[in-house]
Amino acid sequence: MDQRMSLITLGVDDLSRARRFYEEGLGWRVGLAVEDEVVFFLLNGVILSLYSRVDLAKDAGVPDSGGGFTGISLAHNVGSQAEVDSVLSEAERAGGRIVKPASKAEWGGYSGYFADPDGHLWEVAHNPY
Report pLDDT digits (tens) over 42-100.
998 999 999 998 898 887 787 887 666 777 889 999 999 999 999 999 999 999 999 99
Do 7-60 and 74-126 share a fold?
yes
Decide if domain 7-60 falls under CATH 3.10.180.10. Answer: yes
- What residue ranges do the domains of the chain occupy? 7-60, 74-126
Q: What is the pTM of this model?
A: 0.85
Q: 69 burial class (0-12, 13-18, 19+ CB within 10 angstroms)?
A: exposed
Report pLDDT digits (tens) over 77-88.
999 999 999 999
Specify the CATH number of the domain 74-126: 3.10.180.10
The answer for residues whose C-beta is within 8 angstroms of residue 35's C-beta and 6 or more apart is: none
